[in-house]
Amino acid sequence: MKLHQIAFYFTLFLCARYSQGAAIDDETEELEGYYWRHYTDHVPKDALPGGKDMKGETTYIGQALYRSILIPGQFIVGDRKLYFEWGDAERVTSDNIKILCTKHPEQFEWIRTTTEAVGNIPDKNFILGGFESDFTVYIGRVAIDNTLAIGKVIFSTHESSSVGFHTTCRQNASFVRAQEFEVLNYEPKIPPPAKMEEKAKGGAMFTSKIDAFCFGLMISVILFLTH
């Protein structure tokens, strides 16, 4: 086998490899990088950490069905309960809880904002946290005493001026409305740390054992054919 033939097969191999890689990349871009998992006895390993409870333990972003409304709130691991606000009161449930999960926690950002400014954040992609007719419900959080309480940011779909952050204070189990809070935004363009490393290496050829195996196999075939 001549050198130009080897070069041809090698190029063919590289083309096949990289077109396959490109197809996979396109596919993942179309999917949202988060999902709600049903809570059963333990918090899923890929749950997105959200806040802190009174003991300083991490809390998670939960969602419950309450009076035909989906409401986001804080899941407290030690209590195995979801606490959320509705009708100016703290509500609690230990049933039918969903937890927000992701494989890419780095693609989420908590944007510090206020009731007045939240509607004007450019390029926002806030996470929809629930469903309530006449409202759009996002996820927010605020520091209350020594906790970081997860709650809901609601926008009225009728009057654009009606925006509010609602949560509850665990210390006294009463509702809280805050003018300054953080809202949860999803930014899929933020590259995962592993990918950044890969790029920094200048496109290392062997990204996995399978790549190395294919390359080795190809070399063996070429050597076999040339003898």
Ligand X SMILES: *[C@@H]1O[C@H](CO)[C@@H](O)[C@H](O)[C@H]1NC(C)=O
Structure tokens at 189: 């363009």
Q: Which of 94, 90, 86 is nearest to 62 (CA)?
A: 94
Which pair of tokens denotes residue 194?
A: 């592993």
Q: Tell me which of 145, 157, 219, 225 binds ligand X, using CB under 6 A.
A: 145
The two beta strands, 108-114 and 180-186, are antiparallel
Nearer to ligand X, 162 or 174 (CB): 174
Instruction: Provide, rounded to whole angstroms, the least separation between the CB of residue 171 and ligand X.
Output: 5
Is residue 20 involved in binding ligand X (CB under 6 A)?
Answer: no
Closest contact distance (angstroms) between CB of 175 and ligand X is 8
Q: Is 179 in the site for ligand X (CB under 6 A)?
A: no
Tokens of 29: 């871009």
Residue 76 binds ligand X (CB under 6 A):
no
Alpha-carbon torsion (140, 75, 136, 163), positive or negative: negative
- DSSP for 33-82, written as a single string: SEEEEE-BSB--TTBPEEEE-TTS-EEEEEEEEETTEEEEEEEETTTTEE
Point out which span in 51-59, 91-99, 155-163, 164-172 binds ligand X (CB under 6 A). Answer: 164-172
DSSP three-state, residue 129: coil
User: Given the complex with ligand X, which of 144 and 154 has the nearer CB atom?
Assistant: 144
Is residue 174 near ligand X by the rule CB under 6 A? yes
The interface with ligand X within residues 85-144 (CB under 6 A) comprises 144
Q: CA-to-CA distance for 152 and 175, rounded, in angstroms? A: 12
> By C-beta, is 32 or 88 nearer to ligand X?
88
Shortest Cβ 83–ligand X spacing (Å):
13
- Pick from 94, 161, 162, 172: which binds ligand X (CB under 6 A)? 172
Q: How far apart are CA 67 and CA 71, in angstroms?
A: 10
How far apart CA 115 and CA 105 sit, in angstroms, is 26
By C-beta, is 153 or 169 nearer to ligand X?
A: 169
Choice between 127 and 142, CB closer to ligand X: 142
In three-state secondary structure terms, 195 is: helix
Identity of the residue, 63 or 147, whose beta carbon is nearer to ligand X in the bound complex: 147
Q: Which two tokens stand for residue 218?
A: 């190809």
Instruction: List contacts with ligand X (CB under 6 A).
Output: 144-145, 169, 171-172, 174, 176
